[in-house]
Structure 1
Amino acid sequence: MRRSVYRFRDYTIQPDRRLEAEPYSFTMQCAECGDFSEPFTSGADGTAWAVTHLKANTSHLAYREIITRPYRFEPGAWQ
């Protein structure tokens, strides 16, 4: 009969700061109608979209910013 040996490893999740990581992105969404901007690499571009959307829809006063930030698990010590 064969005997199996199992090894476990700890992992830590953290923001992916490697050079090859995908960039952060910022999207603005209108809380009134659900319309949203395309993803931007800067939060300032998203607020510009919200201003343009407000000019076209003067009763749409509530917005939310959706930030996409890549994360990565880093392998730790074997147990």
Structure 2
Amino acid sequence: MRPGDARFRFREYAIEPDREPDAEAIGFAGECAVCEERGPAGGSVEDGEGVIAWMLGHLRRHPEHLSYREIVTRPYRAVPGEWR
């Protein structure tokens, strides 16, 4: 190779859920679709029920707010593949 010549290699990647031991936990939060107030974020698969509890509390304070969203935060990672 002569000075100034460049050689490039490309690499394929796949995106997949991060299941490594140090991966972030899957998080849940609830959001009112009427006023867009959002409950506390965090949690894991085991305590996703906290979202429902927040929604019910919000509904008690605002009985006319009948529509809600569940916001799920799921970690993903890029996995390197073959060089081309």
- Alpha-carbon distance in 1 for matches of 2:18, 2:67: 31
Kindly tell me the number of residue pairs found equivalent between the two proteins. 79
In structure 1, what is the equivalent of residue 74 of structure 2?
69
* SS at structure 1 position matched to 2:34: coil
* RMSD of Structure 2 on Structure 1 (CA): 1.0
Structure 2 stretches of 5 or more lacking a match? none
TM-score (norm 1): 0.94
Q: What does the per-residue CA deviation read over 1:25-78, in whole Å, with 9 as the maximum and x for residues that have no partner?
A: 000000011111111313211001000110111000000000000110000000
Residues of 2 paired with 1:60 and 1:5: CA distance?
Answer: 60
Does structure 1 residue 33 correspond to structure 2 residue 35?
yes
Summarize the alignment of residues 39-78 of structure 1 with structure 2, pairs less than 5 Å apart. 39-41=41-43, 42-78=47-83
After superposing on structure 2, the runs of 4+ consecutive aligned residues of structure 1 that deviate more than 3 Å are none
Identity in percent: 42
SS where residue 10 of structure 1 aligns? Answer: strand
Unaligned runs of 5+ in 1: none
Contact 1:29 1:36 in 2 (8 A): yes
Answer whether contact 1:28 1:64 (CA < 8 A) is retained: yes
